[in-house]
Amino acid sequence: MPVIEIKDVSKLYGFGDATTLALDEVDLVIEEGEFVAIMGPSGCGKSTLMNLIGLLDRPTHGDYHLNGRKVSRLRPNHAAKIRRDTIGFIFQSFNLLPKLTALENVALPLTYKNISLTKRLKMASNILERVGMKDREYYLPSQLSGGQVQCAAIARALVNNPKLIIADEPTGNLDSTGSRLVMELLSEVHRMGNTILFVTHNPELTRYATRVVYMHDGTIVQDEQTAIGQVASTAKKALYKTAPTSEEDDLAGVSALMKAVPSTPSKRTSKPTAKKNRKPNKTTKKAKAKR
Ligand SMILES: Nc1ncnc2c1ncn2[C@@H]1O[C@H](COP(=O)(O)OP(=O)(O)O)[C@@H](O)[C@H]1O
Ligand SMILES: [Mg+2]
């Protein structure tokens, strides 16, 4: 039985002329133990798909079965309960509450359970130890590196022992060291037998995946099995096409960017290739009305 079975799923946002078809009759089956990278330009529907799979939202049309159970029409509070017991969700940023320590943040999802505070903190502490963050338990998020914040976010996603982990651009705000830390940790979670879905713009990170799903304009345009340790071949082509061939090209790219957006300082430390993949222009994407 697949973990995730999505059939003819569409998602529409808005009404009338302002309608956006974010997902267009998507079919997707994911088996237990897969480690799936989701790639595609900004606005193609990756987060919409992750939110549906993570039961943070419902499809407009179509069916979704999670562990063999139909979940596409659940009431929000029922969905929230299933989500809490089955799914760990990691976002690109705003993952931790700033006024709580790493330990308190990780213990948060246990609050509803009928267990003492001491026990909850002990469980959180064990998970933090597993992700290599034992010595940072009492740090506030602002005292941690970006990579450490994401590791704590992964710890929090794991504390209820979910079998499915969904990470929407977990390395989107991280430098290469932070990205590696996070991906190595997700790999370990995968090796323990969990199913993982993660969104990335970085072709290099397909090395960690067993499968890469490529999206465009609300549909899945390619689906590729890939060996762990190797960059997926389609992702590699995309990398080859967009990678600057020399420093001059790189500089030319930067100056072109500066002309286009004169005063937007970027906090990102990612490589220019990653940034290029990220930039697809929203203005050309029309809101498509369904039929
Ligand atoms: N809450 C929303 N309301 C209206 N449109 C939305 C909403 N969320 C996403 N969209 C639109 O749906 C499309 C897919 O968005 P998203 O799933 O966030 O793409 P991605 O994660 O691939 O960048 C985009 O055109 C986006 O503008
Ligand atoms: Mg997104």
Q: Count other Cβ atoms within 10 Å, centred on residue 76.
A: 12
Q: Which two tokens stand for residue 200?
A: 């990335």
57 domain residue, yes or no:
yes
Closest Cα to atom 18 of ligand 1: 47
Judge whether 290 lies within some domain.
Answer: no
Model pLDDT, residue 239: 58
State yes or no: pLDDT of 203 exceeds 90: yes
Q: Which residue has the higher pLDDT, 188 or 270?
A: 188
Does residue 4 register a pLDDT over 70? yes
What is the atom index within ligand 1 of the atom nearest the CA of 11?
12
Which pLDDT score, from 0 to 100, does residue 249 have?
Answer: 41
Please check the confidence at residue 277 and state whether its pLDDT lies above 90: no
Q: Is the CB of 125 under 6 A from ligand 1?
A: no
Q: What is the mean pLDDT of residues 30-52?
A: 96
Lowest average pLDDT, out of 49-53, 91-95, 183-187, goes to: 91-95
Residue 289 within a domain: no
The rounded Å distance from CA 48 to ligand 1 centre is 6
Residue 276 predicted with pLDDT over 50: no
Sheet strands side by side (includes 164-167): 87-90, 164-167, 195-199, 35-39, 211-216, 219-225
The reply to whether 189 falls in a domain is yes
Residue with tokens 């790639």: 39
Per-residue pLDDT at 253 exceeds 80: no
Is residue 173's pLDDT more than 80? yes
Kindly report the backbone phi and psi dihedral angles of residue 185, in degrees, each rounded to the nearest multiple of 5, phi listed first: -65, -45
- Mean pLDDT of the 73-95 span: 90
Determine whether the shortest distance from the Cβ of 46 to ligand 1 is under 6 A: yes
Q: Which ligand is nearest to the CA of 91?
A: 2
| Total number of domains constituting the chain | 1
pLDDT band at 237 (very low <50, low <70, confident <90, very high): confident
Rounded to an integer, the average pLDDT of 81-101 is 90
pLDDT of 29 > 50? The answer is yes
CA of 195 to the centre of ligand 1 (A): 25
CA of 171 relative to ligand 1 center, distance in Å? 19
> Which residues 6+ apart lie within 8 Å of 273 measured at CB?
203, 239, 242, 243, 244
Please compute the mean of the pLDDT values over residues 16-24 and round it to a whole number. 92
Cβ-based neighbours of 90, under 8 Å, separated by 6 or more: 150, 153, 154, 157, 165, 166, 167, 168, 170
Whether 53 is covered by a domain: the verdict is yes
Percent of the chain with pLDDT over 90: 65
CATH of residue 100's domain is: 3.40.50.300
Could you tell me the two tokens for 115? 């267990």
Residue 172 predicted with pLDDT over 80: yes
Check residues 103 and 246 and name the one with the higher pLDDT.
103
Structure confidence at residue 286 (pLDDT): 43
User: Would you state the pLDDT for residue 245?
Assistant: 43
Q: 131 or 94: whose pLDDT is higher? A: 131
CA distance 187 to 171: 14
What pLDDT does residue 183 have?
93
Q: To which H or E segment does residue 277 belong?
A: helix 272-278
Using the Cα atoms of residue 130, residue 175, residue 46 and residue 90 in order, give the sign of their dihedral.
positive
Q: Percent of the chain having pLDDT more than 70?
A: 82
pLDDT at 288: 43
Residue 218: nearest ligand to its CA?
1
Residue 3 in contact with ligand 1 by CB distance below 6 A: no
Question: How many Å lie between the centroid of ligand 2 and the Cα of residue 38?
Answer: 10
Ligand number nearest CA of 214 is 1
Whose alpha carbon is nearest atom 5 of ligand 1? 13
In a domain, 41, yes or no: yes
- 230 within 8 A of 210, measured Cβ to Cβ: no
What's the confidence (pLDDT) of residue 69? 96
The token duo for 62 is: 């179509």
Residue 291 is assigned to a structural domain of this protein: no
Per the CB < 8 A criterion, the answer to whether 273 and 242 are in contact is yes
pLDDT tens digit sequence for 116-139? 999 999 999 999 998 889 999 999
Q: Is residue 73 part of a domain?
A: yes
Ligand nearest to the backbone CA of 169: 2
Ligand 1, atom 24: closest residue by C-alpha: 43
14 in contact with ligand 1, CB cutoff 6 A: yes
- Do the beta carbons of residue 127 and residue 107 sit within 8 Å? no
Mean pLDDT of 92-119: 90
CB-based contact 215:38 (threshold 8 Å): yes
Domain that holds residue 171: 4-284
pTM: 0.81
